[in-house]
Structure 1
Amino acid sequence: MTAPTPSYVADPDVALAAAGDRHAFERLYRLHVTRVFSLCARMVADRTRAEELTQDVFVRAWEKLHLFRGESAFGTWLHRMTVNVVLNARKSEGRSRSRFEDDDEGNGVDALPARPLAPGDRMDLEAAIAKLPPGARRVFTLHDVEGYKHEEIAEMLGVTSGATKAQLHRARLLLREALNR
């Protein structure tokens, strides 16, 4: 017997999975695993670690699904959980508060020029992002790829917004260097 579907949960698979239906959760997994893995991979730049973190995200989602209130889309809730799992893993590994090496506040730095990527450029960009220092890569991913504001990133990482601006500035400079070679 399954629990009644709360009216605020739009996706029936979410309601069924929250009630313990493993098949519904498997469907949710298949629908969202690529996006979760991609976010993990961008944040840690290590495929094996990203696979482990993706698994951790879905284990945590299964454990916490009963807490999902439906105030946002399930994908949004899962995305936020993914960011939290990655950041918490970094903290437990003792690397989340690595010292920022760039003292520049990053004010007035333009974003990378917006232009369509040629077929080989996408792989070059992904490789360049993977080679960024961890702090700069996390901030770049959260700000420029995922769209978080500096204040949100600062809160997530436990640093000042000035530090996130400096890391973003550093990441963009390093990416420009790498891509202009």
Structure 2
Amino acid sequence: MTLQGQQTVIDAKQLFASKQEQEWIELAQNGDRQAFQQLYQLHIGRVYALCVRMIADREQAEDVAQEVFVQVWLKLDKFRGDSKFSTWLHSVATNTALSHLRKQKNWLQRVFSLEEAANSEPVINDHPELSDLDKTILRLPEKARLVFVLFAVEGYRHEEIANMLDMAVGSSKSHYHRAKKLLQEWL
């Protein structure tokens, strides 16, 4: 096909992968565990990476990533296909990670402790699979890290982040700029 003299190129690999994923989604929605396993294998890496960035603890991130897929299995019938599956999945992952953080015993203290500096770094050597940038992100104070990951990595708007974290939009922007400033200093 041509459009004003240009030839349209179709990426067969991408098209096949998309069709295969759609087939797995439909099968899994009908209870096919093998199809769900395929979806799990396809997406676990990115879900785990998001959980590690948000939670900054490898073991807890593994638990939360597993919980994400439990939630996805339970809610798969609610996926209507209005958006990409990966978009819906990462929304579930973000909400599950935030819910996990809220359930933490001292969550309020950790979230509102803005004076918490880089001295209270998580043990980043426990994350050999992470890039240097990801390890540096883990050093950020929790609130700044959450806002940075949600805005810069996951692409949420500050209005959405403010709603998710129950804060003012200005606070979300402030935490983002603080995170950026710290990352620039450390890198």
Superposition TM-score, scaled by structure 2 size: 0.76
| Separation in 1, partners of 2:108, 2:69 | 22
What secondary structure sits across from 2:156 in the alignment?
coil
| Separation in 1, partners of 2:132, 2:39 | 32
- State whether residues 90 and 96 of structure 1, in contact with CA within 8 Å, keep that contact through their aligned partners in structure 2: no
Deviation digits for residues 20-48 of structure 1 (CA, Å, limit 9, x no counterpart): 00000000000111111111111111111
**How far 1:177 sits from its partner (Å)?**
1.6
- Deviant stretches of 4+, over 4 Å: none
- State whether residues 100 and 163 of structure 1, in contact with CA within 8 Å, keep that contact through their aligned partners in structure 2: no
The aligned residue for residue 114 of structure 2 is 101
2:170 to 114, 138, 162: 162
Q: Where do 1:66-85 residues align within 5 Å?
A: 66-85=77-96
**How far 1:93 sits from its partner (Å)?**
1.5
Residue 186 of structure 2 is aligned to residue 178 of structure 1: yes
AA matched with 2:104: E
Residue 155 of structure 2 is aligned to residue 147 of structure 1: yes
Pairwise CA RMSD? 1.7
**Structure 1 residue ranges without an equivalent (≥5):** 1-9, 103-121
| Separation in 1, partners of 2:179, 2:156 | 16
Q: Where do 1:22-61 residues align within 5 Å?
A: 22-61=33-72
**Structure 2 residue ranges without an equivalent (≥5):** 1-20, 116-129
Deviation digits for residues 59-101 of structure 1 (CA, Å, limit 9, x no counterpart): 1101111111111111111010000000111112152682263
Which structure is higher in helix share? 2
What secondary structure sits across from 1:11 in the alignment?
helix
